Amino acid sequence: MSHTDPDVVAVRELPPGVPDPSDESVSRTWRLITARRPAPAPLWTRLLVPVTAAAMVVGLAVGATVVFRPGGLSVGAGGVPSDEKTSEPNLAPPSPEAVAALKAMAEVAAGKPTTVPPIATGQYVFVRHDGWVAVVSESSQVAKVEKQDRDYWFDPQGGLLRGSSFDGAPPRVEDQEVPREQVLGSVIHPTPKWLAQLPTDPIKLLDDLRGAMDKDAPWSIDHQVWTAMQDLYMRCDVLLNTEGRAALLRAFTSLRGITSSEVTIDKRRLLAIRHTERGSGDEILFDPTTGRAVGRRSVNVNSTLTLDPASPVRLDPGVTYQATWSQQVVDELYATS
């Protein structure tokens, strides 16, 4: 755990000038509170932090109303840590609908040659992250949906967060204390070279992804793979080549516990591929016309909340966070085009 981890920063800087905490860390607490039974979200064990404490301190700091803002950047997707490895891993075979959807997208992706932008020293991957969150008070079962926009600048050598801007605020420097020369490339810290050399055999590729996960973590291996892929796609989908994109989609057809559904966001038809475990559904949103990952959603499958009819958008039942993103390579930190 780094002292500059976003969750730790959220606590250290309170108060005054309360910053937004890590969005995903707050999501984890929000889902824990609103579920019928405790349902922690997925955990990326390489970046464990005291997320529950951070989220609750933020809630107390803003006054009588506890505002939970789930989803968004997780810089290590994760959930409320559990003391024990789950006794109920989702070992269900992938649904036939999910397998068919992934295979179809793989064929589409393979048929659309991708031009990966060259990466020069000093360039960044800029991600515009347009999100909506369900905001709930401590005593209410009615959630209002609010806009939540994020801009991120990632070092392509490892997908390291180097800058961020929340809801149009001036950008701030992020330092994960990982020297780029120490990043060799992995699903945790993808590099352009690592992405370019992904195995094209989907069985080998899935074996590699599973092998990078923590066998002693509280969450199942396949759930860890899926939350790691949420993060990877959000940081560097733009750097995937044609072969790698198609191979990943084919590899996912063997993941246990995945399902699929069609969703419409901003009048755009997308495919949501979900992995569910412990009442927590984690989705990657794909554009079926390209096979690209274009967003993510967090779902509390046990939620009893209803949405305030005055909310500007309607989220699907159980959705606590929804976001789509766009990505491009920029020449300098804080550049947006």
DSSP assignment of 237-284: GGG--HHHHHHHHHHHTT-TTEEEEEEEETTEEEEEEEEEETTEEEEE
pLDDT attached to residue 270 = 98
pLDDT attached to residue 197 = 96
Per-residue DSSP letter, 304: -
pLDDT attached to residue 30 = 40
Per-residue DSSP letter, 184: -
From 317, 265, 272, 260, select the one nearest 296 (Cα to Cα): 272
pLDDT attached to residue 94 = 98
In contact, 96 and 47? CB cutoff 8 Å: no
pLDDT attached to residue 182 = 67
Quote the pTM value.
0.77
Residue type, 209: L
User: What are the sequence ranges of the domains in the chain?
Assistant: 96-330
pLDDT attached to residue 86 = 76
The three-class DSSP label of residue 155 is: strand
pLDDT attached to residue 45 = 23
Q: Which residues of the chain have pLDDT under 50?
A: 1-22, 24-83
